[in-house]
Each structure stands twice: as structure tokens, then as C-alpha cells.
Amino acid sequence: MLEKIYSYIESSTANLVELETELCKRPALSPDSGGVGELDKVEFLQSWLKAHGITQLERHDAPDSRAKGGVRPNLIATIPGKSDTRRLWIMSHTDVVPPGELSLWNNDPWQVVVKDGRLIGRGVEDNQQGLTSSVLAALVLVQQGITPPHTVKLLFVADEEMGSEYGIQWLLANRNLFRPDDMVVIPDGGDEKGETIEVAEKNLLWLKIKTQGKQCHGSRPDQGANAHLAACELAVRLHDELPLRFNAHNTLFDPDYSTFEPTKHEANVPNVNTIPGDDVFYMDMRVLPQYPLQDVLAEVDRIMMEVSKKRGVEMSYEALQRVESKATSPDAPLVQFLSRAVQQVYGVDTRPIGIGGGTVGAYLRNVGIDSVVWGRLHESAHQPNEYALIENIIGDAKVMATLMMEERK
């Protein structure tokens, strides 16, 4: 049976090129990035799936007045199985990031170029590679009249690139879609060999830190309170002291420790000879999941209070991102099933890892749903001339089809 399925997928190059090309033509940019959202792309995808035999479709539209049609659409395609227990979900996202500096592209980023076994264009890897692979795997079941052992659901979510407020977060808060025995594969990360299965993420904390002092002339610091100086001291202390308090190591991750990095800084005064009275900078913190973020914030409060008192300024922060993530066990059945499928298709032994970046998997794990992130990728996402290998789209589709045909007892 699997050989028949693999052969069908291998003959699907025309379908995958067509789907990637048509999706790329419809820029699904968030309103936060100057776009109109995902509606055009999802409406096309919905029609394309119906035309190719996947007809059990449902839309869950998150309201967003900034977007075209006033909605951010989330789409589910269902392939009914012999059993409706232990369902397999494959979740990809439809939104993309802007192309950036157009002069760095060799071609129009919204027009797919096929060259040397690659598809080139914005979004062809992130996340249309995973999306297209999941569709190819489902198509073979539908078009060959194959009923999988367990129900398969393809979930195409909105807003992944900008925080998932209108995507998986909205679905979890407003819909009752998932069951405790569901399994979710997210083909939105990986490596060139497909040997890593991401099962855990560091907790993510982004802080916007404001300092208010008193502006004065550069020659009279005694008459003011240097907000920039205080902010610099706080940034250095957070960077140097927090790792001493949160000092554990976990070899699942690389690096295997928590990180606390000052990053962005906003302009304060426009001239050299003015001591700034206001300052704003940002911290990007990636914390091992064993540490609750409330404990990290308690340390931030303590250090901030000391700096504020010492420098005679007022300091406050806003958490721009605060995401804590439970882990899927490296021994979970989903990890074992996926590992076997990868070995069968690619001949590669996999290993579980944790990552420092955030994925939508965190939201699912936090409500008790086993989720993994996997794919065979060359990691050209967000870069000029982003590309996906056709052989990876086909190979990953075979892995997904193998999972779909897995007997799960």
C-alpha cells in the first residue's frame, strides 16, 4: 500500500508546482506588516482543495477589522478515518513575511521561479513547503480511495508570523477543536537531513523597558537624571546577573542555557550635547522551560528597583511577548511514529531537540496536546530568494502519508 502511495506522490510534481505558484501569487501579509491578511490565499486554497477532491472543509474566521473582509481565516480539511480517535493533525500557516529589500531578489518574490529542482519565491518554504506536502499526502488518500486508520485533519492557520493572535491562539480560545489524544505535526522547522524532531521550546519573554529621567545640557549632568545611562546599566545588569540566577543547563537545547539579551534601542535625543530624559530599549529572553517566567520577572523587578533608586529615574516595562511552553515527551508515541516514518522514507535516524525560538507548538502543548515540529528544510525562510527543494516537498509528503497510514493502538 505504501509503495503505491509513494509512487502517486512522486508523480505529483505538476500539482505541487501549481499549488505553490498560485499560493505565492496571493501575498498573505499581516496588517501589522502593511498587508490585508490571508483571505485571498485561503479562498483560493479552499477552492483548489475542493476541485481536487478534498471536500470536507470548514472555516473558522477570527474577526480583524484591519484585514480584507474583516477576518483572518483559519481552514480545516478533514479526511475521515476508520477510527475517529487518536487523530493526526498537520498544521501549517498561510501568512508570510514581507520580501524585504527587493533589489536583493533575482526575480519578483511573488512569482514562483522553478530552477534546478528548486522553487524560488516568498513563502515557498515558510510555510508553503509543509502546507503543500500535507496536501499532497492527503490528496493521494482521497484520489486513490484510501481510508486511513485514523482521521486526518489539515489545519491552515492565520497570523503565525506575528504572534498567532488570530490563528491558533484564537482557535484555542474560541473553538473546541482538539481532543487530549490528538497528535499534531507542525512542518515549520527542521534541518537539511530531517533528523531533528523539535519537542520543546524555551520560554519566551520580550520586554520593552522605559526609563524616565530629566533632560539637561550635556555640560550640566548635575541638573538632570540621565535616562540613557540608567538604561545601559540596567541592560548590562540583566544580561550579566540573570544567568547567574537561572543557571541550569539542558542538553536538549542549543545553546543549553537561558539567554538574556538587550536588543533593540529607540532613538532618544537627536544631538550629542543633550543628556536624554527618556530612553526605551528591549530585551529578548529565552529561558529554559523549568523556570517560570514570573520568577524571571521578579528578578527583573528587583534589579530595576536598585538601578532606579541609584540613578534617580523611573523605570517600567511592558511584556511584548510572554509565552511559556510545556514539552512533549521525547518518548511520546507521536515522536516514535514520526521517527519511524522518517527512517522509512529518508533512511535517517532522528533525535529529539528543544529550540530557543517560539513556534505555534507551544500553545498546543500548554493545553496538553502532543505536538512536534519537523521538516526537511534548507532554512531559507525570511531571506531574499527564499527557496524550497521539490525533492523535499515530495519526501516530506511521503513521511506525512506514512504517518497518516500508521495504525495507532
Q: How far apart are CA 152 and CA 134, in angstroms?
A: 10
> Which one of 20, 160, 386, 406 is the catalytic residue?
160
Report angle CA 193, 199, 203 to the nearest 5 degrees. 120
Per the CB < 8 A criterion, the answer to whether 392 and 376 are in contact is: yes
Residue 26's alpha-carbon distances to 19, 43, 52, in angstroms, are 11, 10, 20
Residue 25's closest CA among 132, 118, 108?
108
In three-state secondary structure terms, 7 is helix
In three-state secondary structure terms, 319 is strand
Cell of 245: 540566577
Cell of 25: 501569487
Q: Is 95 a catalytic residue?
A: yes
CA atoms within 13 A on the CB side of 339: 16
Q: Is 160 a catalytic residue?
A: yes
Cell of 34: 502593511
Per the CB < 8 A criterion, the answer to whether 282 and 228 are in contact is: no
> Which one of 38, 95, 279, 386 is the catalytic residue?
95
Residues 6+ apart with CB under 8 A from 228: 211, 268, 275, 276, 279
Q: How far apart are CA 323 and CA 6, in angstroms?
A: 39
Q: How far apart are CA 369 and CA 363, in angstroms?
A: 9
Residue 171's alpha-carbon distances to 60, 175, 203, in angstroms, are 8, 5, 21
Q: How far apart are CA 76 and CA 55, in angstroms?
A: 10
Q: Is 68 buried (19+), middle (13-18) or exposed (0-12) by CB count in 10 A?
A: middle
CA atoms within 13 A on the CB side of 8: 20
- Catalytic residue list: 95, 160
